[in-house]
Structures are given as C-alpha cells and as structure tokens.
A and B are shown apart, each in its own frame.
Chain A
Amino acid sequence: MIKVDHLAKRYANVYAVDDISFEVNQGEILGLLGPNGAGKTTTMRILTCYMPATSGTVTVEGYDVFRDSVQVRRQIGYLPENVPLYPEMRVKEYLSFRAKLKKVPYRERKKKIDESIEKCRIIDVQNQIIGTLSKGYRQRVGLADTLVHDPKILILDEPTIGLDPNQIRQVRQLIKELGEKHTILLSTHILPEVEMLCGRVIIINKGKIVAMDTPSNLAIQLRAGNNITLEIRGNGEKIKNAFSEVQGVKKVIWQGNGAINHYTLEAEKGVDVREDVFSSVVKNGGIIREMKQASITLEEIFHQITTQEQEVTL
C-alpha cells in the first residue's frame, strides 16, 4: 500500500528523518513509535504530500507522493497532530465542506457524511459549533473528516494526545474498529497504545529506524536478561547459595523476610532456568509459593532502545 524507500528530510543542517525505508501492507495497523522529535510527524507529512522529501521516494498505491500528489491525497485520510479545525463552523457543515474538498460526488455526499458521523459517534453533537466541543469530540470530528471520502489508508498523528483516560479508550476502540476496513498508520509515544492496537511497530529515534517487528517479537528479541521472581518458604541463605550454582543464573537478589523469602534471578539470554531452579529449591527443602517469569513490556524495550546509544556515549 505504502512504500517508503530511503526517505530523508533535512531542515537546515539537521536531518529530521534520516534514510528510513519501510512498507505498510494492506489491512494492517502499523505503529510509528518514538520519543518527541524523533521524526514521526515529518514522516507523516511527507506521506500525506504536505511537504516533500529531501531525498528518497514514497509511493502510495503505486502513485508517487511528489509527482501524483493529488492522486495520493485521494487515497489517504490524514488526521494531523492536535486536530486543527475551524472553530466557527458547525460539525456537519465542516464535514460537508471537507467532503466537497475531497471530491465526494454530490449523490453520495449526504450518505458518506452520515456514515462517518455514525461511525465516530458524534450524532449528538452534529449541529454544534466546533469551537464549543470538548477535546474528545474534536478528535472524533477529526476522525470523521478522515473517513468522509472513504479512503483506503488512514494516517493518524498522535490520535489520543491530550485526551482524558475515558476518551483515550473510546478513541482507541474506534481506531480498532476502523482497522477492520482501512489500512492504518498511526504515530504515538504512548507504548500501551501500540501494544493494544498495532500488528507491527516501527520504533524510530533521531530520524532513524531502530527496530521494526510485531510487539511480541520485539519483546523476545530484546529479552536481554530474563528475570524470574520467586517467593519461597525455607532457609533463605542456603537456597540463595544453591541458586548461584544453578547453570545459567547470572545474578541472585535475595530479600529475606523470616520464613518467607523473595528472590529475583537474572538468567543468561535465551536460557530457560526455571526447571533447574525448581529442583534446586526442592533439594534444599524449600517450598515454592510463587514463581513468575517477568515479561518485558514494550515500555522497557522502548526505553532500552532509545537510551542505549546515550548510555554508551556517556
């Protein structure tokens, strides 16, 4: 659907986007994840033909964003960051203006507008003035605008920024529903959002792609040290020493608390030490009350990837 090839964008002497390539496939929800200023918005602006690239090519459905810009724009519904709208217009009036701009044929216009109003659940505010709407409703009006010409691709820049938790949940639910019919590229710096919505993630930092995979694969790839936490009834000291002898265990942290002891074991990468740990506890007369493998969340991966470089240089 979208093919980005060695894309770069330079502002003065700084590369906001530095040689990135990726593809967005039909029907998927792809997340662009990165800290603020990583180049997410710039990438999206190039994809939506708002600004041209310094070098590299982007094709949308086979159309080049620079040469067939108007064709590309017809395929795309774009929700810019912070959802700029005309505050003096009424919701329905605005959508009708946008539908006309996007060349929705006269016969279908009313139907398309009503459909997008219904999908985004803004029926109860459709005759209100946009300036009087809450942020959550404005966001949904923006989404309704992206849908009004029934585009194949939706590009959403930080769709949940600035909303309260309830509104975030509603907007996410909405995006999930839209993902069934449209190909979606969304950007965010909120990690649970990506885990919840996206089939695939691209993590970008300082204009470069640092990782690209499914959220769960990323977690596996990056499981640098597998942590296991245990709660054991038994002789704390003795069991601790036994753990240090188990093959594959790199580090043992022991927090004694009388009869009940808590341990955190760090195992070597790719080694599953759980069974050996179990038998060594049993051998030393302990009783396992709890054993848990801590799964790495995207949050940690994100933190690792985006800070790794700095930590090396410091």
Chain B
Amino acid sequence: MTSVGTIFQREINSYFLSPIAYVVIAVFTIFSGYFFSIMLGITQETTLRYSFAYTQFILSILTPVITMRLLAEENKTGTIEPLMTAPITDFEVVFGKFLSAWALYNIMIAPTAFYIIFLAWVGSPDYGAIIASYIGLILMGGLFISIGLLVSAITKNQIVAAVIGIVALLILLVIGLASSGSEGWFYDGLRYIGTYDHWDTFTKGIVDTRDVVYYVSFTALLIFIVVRIVESRRWR
C-alpha cells in the first residue's frame, strides 16, 4: 500500500505544478462566493443550504477538469507503460490517483469555511446542518471523482474526458432534480440514482445511512470498474 502514497504524492505535486489546481480553486471560489452572497441576500437566513444547492452545479463542471488528465494523459504519452511495469498493482495506481484528485477537491472546497465564519459573525447558524453538509459535500466529491476517473480511463484525450465527464455528471444531477415533484416507481428510481436527492438530505442537516451507502457504494463500484478497465489492456 506504500505505492498508493507514492502515486498520491506525485499526482498532487503534478496538480500544483500545472495551472489546473489554481484554476479550479479560483473558479470555484468565485462562483460559490457569488451564489453565497446572492442566496444570503434573498433568503436572509444564516445557512449554507441554499447556496450549496447551486454548488452541486459548479462541482459537476469543475470535478471532471480535476480528473481529466489522471489516466488519459498517461495513456496518451505512454507513461502508463513504465508505470505498469514497475512492481505495483493496477489497484494501487487507480486508488492513488483517486485519492489525489479527492484531496485536491477538498482543498478546492476548503475556502467555503470562510462563509461559516461570516455567518457566525452576522447571526447564529445551525452548526449541525453545516457539518452534515460538509460530510455530504466530501462524499459527493468522491463519487464525482470516480466518475471522472472512469471517463479518463477510456480515452486518450483530456478534453474529451472533461466533456464526457461534465455531461455525465449533469445528467446525474438533472434526472434527480427533474423528477423531484413526480410520483411512482420510475421517478423514485431516477431520484435514487441521481445525486440531487441524496445531496439535498445532507444540506437539510440529516446524515442518513441510505445516502452515505449510496455515495460510498457507488464510488467503490466505479473504482472497481476503473481498475478493470486499466487491467483490460491485458486481455484486449
């Protein structure tokens, strides 16, 4: 498992050596700050709930940018070959890359902590709901990154990886959002598959096991599939 750490370290360094990390952090901070101030002005409530509802949309666009290069670039430049001929398993490579992107994601959302300080200054926010929101945000990040990683594994082109990733995440958001008013097993199913409902529960301040299971198991399944895709060069 020490190899996971080695891969993690290289990927994190690589993020901060390229403009990607700075760009996503800057863009996220600008937009989340904008939504925060707008929603605070409209609702006059000391909560992150309303602004975080919009945050999911920004994250759907920014997370694939974080993950796009992870495997696509290795496939394109051929560095996958020395990597995979080192004494390391495919899982260690995939998991190390996953963790590094997840870490960058968490660094990206960290500046939102400032909003809590601001809310505490102007009023008295519900800290329980805020903590629940952050648990949800971090779990949702894991899922988004595993989707981005999957897309990055199947292409050699980073731009293609980013675009398909964004489309996939938006579909996942929209199917839940669009069916939120409807009844019946079909819409219930869509709501369960979509990320919106699960995320909504967290922002209300509820940490429900069902939602935690949804995120964790979905993420684990996708990582498993990515490992299989990376392995597939062996039997392709």
Contacts and interface: CB of A to CB of B under 8 A. Distances in A.
B86 A98 contact: yes
A146 B80 CA distance: 15
Which secondary structure dominates where chain B touches chain A?
helix
A100 B235 contact: no
B77 A101 contact: no
B83 to A, nearest CB: 8
B184 interface: no
Contact of A74 (B14, B79, B81, B87): B87
A165 interface: no
Given A51-B233, A89-B14, A84 B85 contact: no
Contacts of B13: 89, 93
Interface stretch (A75-83, A258-266, A297-305): A75-83
Interface in A11-54: 45, 48-52
Contact of A97 (B10, B17, B84, B89): B10
B82 interface: yes
A49 B234 CA distance: 9
B217 interface: no
Given A51-B234, A97-B6, A100-B6, A84 B87 contact: no
A81 to B, nearest CB: 8
Nearest to B74: A84
Contacts of B79: 84-86
In order of increasing CB-CB distance, the 10 nearest A-B pairs are: A84-B78, A84-B79, A73-B87, A101-B86, A100-B6, A80-B81, A48-B85, A88-B17, A70-B87, A78-B85
Given A80-B85, A101-B83, 12 more contacts: A49-B85, A52-B235, A73-B86, A78-B82, A80-B82, A84-B78, A84-B79, A84-B80, A85-B79, A86-B10, A86-B14, A101-B88
Interface of A: 45, 48-52, 70-71, 73-74, 76, 78, 80, 82, 84-89, 93, 97-98, 100-103, 145
